[in-house]
Amino acid sequence: MFAASLDTTIEFLKGVGPKRAELLQKELGIYTYEQLLNFFPFRYIDRTRFYKVKELNPDLPYVQILGRITGKEQIGEKHKRRIVARLTDETGSIELVWFQSLKWVDENVMRGKVYIVFGKPTLFNGSFSISHPELEPYPRPTTMTGNLRLQPVYNSTEKLKKFFLDSKGIQKLQTLIIEQHLSEIRETLPMPVLQKYQMVSRKQALLNIHFPKDVEALKAAERRLKFEELFFIQLQLLHNKKLRELKFKGHRFEAVGSRVNTFYKDILPFEMTGAQKRVIKEIRMDTQRGIQMNRLVQGDVGSGKTVVALMSMLLANDNGFQACMMAPTEILARQHHESITSLLDGKLSKVAVLTGSTTKKQRTKLHAELQNGEIDILVGTHALIEDKVVFKNLGMVVIDEQHRFGVEQRAKLWRKNTVPPHILVMTATPIPRTLAMTLYGDLDVSVIDELPVGRKPIETRHFFEGQRLRMFGFMKAEIAKGRQVYIVYPLIKESEKLDLLHLEAGIEQISDQFPRPEYQISIVHGKMSNADKQFEMQQFIDGKSQIMVATTVIEVGVNVPNASIMVIENAERFGLSQLHQLRGRVGRGAEQSYCILMSGNKLSADGRLRLDTMVKTNNGFEISEIDLQLRGPGDITGTQQSGVLELKLADLATDQLILQEARSTVMDILNKDPQLEDPAYSLLKTYLAKRSRGIAFDKIS
């Protein structure tokens, strides 16, 4: 006999064997004892509660009944053969039915004996029955992993179930591992951390996550394992950050010079908000350290990120460096260029723009002026990244709408100077703090959580279909005042055909209500060519059309301050963050703006909550928190980054505190001991080393 350990292949566990091992690998990705041990229950059934027969009702999920077998017979022929037993307590009796394992039932379920029966009751012809109940003799025997008050429930699959690896089957395997290998489970967190947060050992935690002694023990186990999960994510993120800081020197912006000062004192037409000032100060601190800055600025639409970007770029210029700003689309790039040139009023710095539609001739000139340092600030699209674009001395890169750029593209920008430029990433999609700490945990994060004073908050109303004519009337009144209106339709892949029909019907109705030549309507949707889209948008931007009917393509988009109404059709079908982004298209001018959410009469509870939330608040951070509660982190960010969000136990919507603790613990450790030299951290060091070679965590404990 060889001695099994936690590293042993699962095949060798008693009751597994080659066939089931293969299934466990294929279905659940479990190869070793250890990995099985790290496969946690997804819920627990309270087995302290016993139901009386009289209390049963068909809505109950699994129940537990204590009773005596008062009858048992085998009936039916061949494939209809079954055993029906009667279970009786002092309030009544129910039927237990088995279609399979009849031999076992015949030998083990004894008339006259008392059992604990567990299963889902169904009502048939006025009486209850449970098919294939679990049965335990009463009283229960006591063992370390038996006698459970909280019974673990594991996810299984149809294939696994065929081989008796249902939840119960998996529980049996866990029992074996715990009984034989508990002592081998090693601690993964440093002792001082455990002590500081009074957490149970890994051994205790694993024992109690599978076989909780009681609710308190389960809570303690969960807390410890959640902490661990988040701790190691943070360790990786923050360690990367530390390494980057150690490795990459940054341009040192010693001074606030004349351009920043003049702009701030003489040119800037308004007073900055407290939040803007704070973020600029943070950027100022970052760029003085001689370490490359990597900062993310989150701020709702209209919070004034452009000025913050411009100040940062002027700061670079003041210190003898060039700066660039990159946007995800041509329209946005051109708008940034326009706002920046108009803010600067032709003074201080020379600004240029580079996009896909820049002509060859313009390009040649531009390339030369970049290389000889004549251009101070370059605004553009992806075109900026191209190798042909060479700066004399690039010191600051601003990236707008970060999620649209990949890591590789960011890296290309880094290489535009021997010492990489400072990087400022800006996003108008507020995300909850916990998500930011996880997704952008290796960046410093600033938040502009304040809108410029005097801005009129957008008024949001929810209308049902029956109020449509009122809505049209309102539109007419606003258009008569010279305003413009967006009308947005959902267009989703899964329901594309139907959506397009709705869109067409909508366009027809709108054309009826708003006939030419009095009204002009622009139409933009994803099925159109880029050139057509550009043309239609330009019509609207130039004020030549009063109504823009669009699918969600306008979501990241244009700035038309004169547009003061956003109508969202089938609003109940949009996610919260999308609704908020759409609403952000209005409220950009001096006029009072409105957002009208149109919906059908039938709303799901979630749909209702989303619309109510929109009506109630304009605050993007508040909205993002509710969105996180409703949808979970994966959906909020889209799939591309979900890797870090595939958390086993921790929940970013509810475990803020634990995440906070884990992150600050890691920060403390890395600040004191960036290279993790202290022997107390040797495990952490091993983890990082293995991780960087692509070995999963399960392998190290």
Q: Which is nearer to ligand ADP, 276 or 570 (CB)?
A: 276
Alpha-helix residue ranges (DSSP H) falling in 491-619? 496-513, 530-541, 576-583, 605-616
Tell me which residue has tokens 């869109």: 503
Q: Which is nearer to ligand ADP, 65 or 297 (CB)?
A: 297
Q: Which is nearer to ligand ADP, 185 or 311 (CB)?
A: 311
The Cα–Cα gap between 673 and 533 comes to 55
Q: How far is the CB of 478 from ligand ADP (least distance, A)?
A: 21
For residue 108, count other CB atoms closer than 10 A to its CB: 12
Q: How many CA atoms lie within 13 A of 56 on its CB side?
A: 27
Q: Which is nearer to ligand ADP, 207 or 310 (CB)?
A: 310
The Cα–Cα gap between 501 and 506 comes to 8
Cα-to-chain-centroid distance, residue 593: 30
Q: Which is nearer to ligand ADP, 428 or 443 (CB)?
A: 428
Per the CB < 8 A criterion, the answer to whether 390 and 353 are in contact is no
Q: Which is nearer to ligand ADP, 301 or 684 (CB)?
A: 301
Q: How far is the CB of 575 from ligand ADP (least distance, A)?
A: 20
Structure tokens at 64: 């537990």
Q: How far is the CB of 310 from ligand ADP (least distance, A)?
A: 9
Q: Given the rule CB under 6 A, which residues bind ligand ADP?
A: 270, 272-273, 276, 299, 301-307, 428, 452
The Cα–Cα gap between 251 and 277 comes to 22
The Cα–Cα gap between 451 and 471 comes to 28
Residue closest to ligand ADP when measured from CB atoms: 304
Tell me which residue has tokens 């009208």: 596
The Cα–Cα gap between 232 and 497 comes to 45
Report how far apart, in Å, the C-alpha atoms of 558 and of each of 53, 344, 458, 535, 589 are.
Answer: 65, 21, 17, 13, 13
The Cα–Cα gap between 316 and 296 comes to 17
The Cα–Cα gap between 143 and 178 comes to 12
Structure tokens at 337: 């260029």
Q: How far is the CB of 399 from ligand ADP (least distance, A)?
A: 13
Q: How far is the CB of 304 from ligand ADP (least distance, A)?
A: 3
Q: How far is the CB of 368 from ligand ADP (least distance, A)?
A: 31
Q: How far is the CB of 400 from ligand ADP (least distance, A)?
A: 8
Q: Which is nearer to ligand ADP, 210 or 588 (CB)?
A: 588
Diameter of the chain measured on Cα atoms? 98
The Cα–Cα gap between 500 and 503 comes to 5
Beta strand spans in 545-683 (E): 547-550, 563-568, 594-599
Cα-to-chain-centroid distance, residue 295: 20
Q: Which is nearer to ligand ADP, 178 or 556 (CB)?
A: 556
Q: How far is the CB of 619 from ligand ADP (least distance, A)?
A: 14
Q: What is the bridge-based pairing of β-strands 150-153 and 43-46?
A: antiparallel
Q: How far is the CB of 440 from ligand ADP (least distance, A)?
A: 18
Q: How far is the CB of 424 from ligand ADP (least distance, A)?
A: 13
Tell the burial category of 692 from Cβ atoms under 10 Å away from its Cβ (0-12, 13-18, 19+).
Answer: exposed
SS3 421: coil
Q: Which is nearer to ligand ADP, 428 or 628 (CB)?
A: 428
The Cα–Cα gap between 21 and 5 comes to 16
Q: Which is nearer to ligand ADP, 277 or 468 (CB)?
A: 277
Q: How far is the CB of 581 from ligand ADP (least distance, A)?
A: 11
Q: How far is the CB of 607 from ligand ADP (least distance, A)?
A: 28
Q: How far is the CB of 345 from ligand ADP (least distance, A)?
A: 13
Beta strand spans in 293-393 (E): 294-299, 322-326, 351-354, 377-380
Q: Which is nearer to ligand ADP, 267 or 657 (CB)?
A: 267
What does the DSSP 8-state code read for residue 187? Answer: P
Q: How far is the CB of 454 from ligand ADP (least distance, A)?
A: 7
The Cα–Cα gap between 375 and 390 comes to 12
Q: Which is nearer to ligand ADP, 30 or 428 (CB)?
A: 428
Q: What is the 3 state secondary structure string of 530-554? A: HHHHHHHHHHHHCCCCCEEEECHHH
Q: Which is nearer to ligand ADP, 304 or 490 (CB)?
A: 304
Sign of the dihedral defined by the CA atoms of residues 245, 250, 256, 261, in that order: negative
Q: Which is nearer to ligand ADP, 304 or 395 (CB)?
A: 304
